[in-house]
Amino acid sequence: MAAATGDMPTYQIRAPTTALPQGVVMAASPGSLHSPQQLAEEATRKRELRLMKNREAAKECRRRKKEYVKCLESRVAVLEVQNKKLIEELETLKDICSPKTD
């Protein structure tokens, strides 16, 4: 419906008939519906889940560390070759520059 004085339409807001949308269920407090056995089972389940996640994280950590060490070993190999070449070049330059005393 358009208002008589302006171009802006006016709308009527209706109050919702229920407080929650359909399909939404309110959960009870955590301790009210569980027996001690259920609480123990839940704690065991949570512990197992935590341990499983920790195992996966440790496995990933070991994989990353292995990759890092492999990269370092490769770098060491390259630097050793470079160092050997530089030592040979140094020896060559020493031979060229040093006075011959034969």
For residues 85 and 92, give the distance between their C-alpha atoms in angstroms, rounded to a whole number.
Answer: 11
Structure tokens at 45: 């389940």
For residue 20, give the amino acid letter: L
Q: How confident is the model at residue 40 (pLDDT cuts 50, 70, 90)?
A: very high
Note down the domain range covering 68: 36-96
Instruction: Report the alpha-carbon distance of residue 2 to residue 11 in Å, rounded.
Output: 9
In this structure, are residues 3 and 9 in contact, taking their beta carbons and an 8 Å threshold? yes
Assess if residue 65 is contained within a domain. yes
Confidence check: pLDDT of 59 > 90: yes
The domain total for the chain is 1
Q: What is the predicted pLDDT for the residue at 73?
A: 98
Higher local confidence (pLDDT), 35 or 18:
35
Q: Is residue 66 part of a domain?
A: yes
In a domain, 51, yes or no: yes
User: What integer pLDDT is reported at residue 17 of this predicted model?
Assistant: 58
- pLDDT grade for 77, boundaries at 50, 70 and 90: very high
Residue 63 located in a structural domain: yes
pTM: 0.53
13: in domain: no
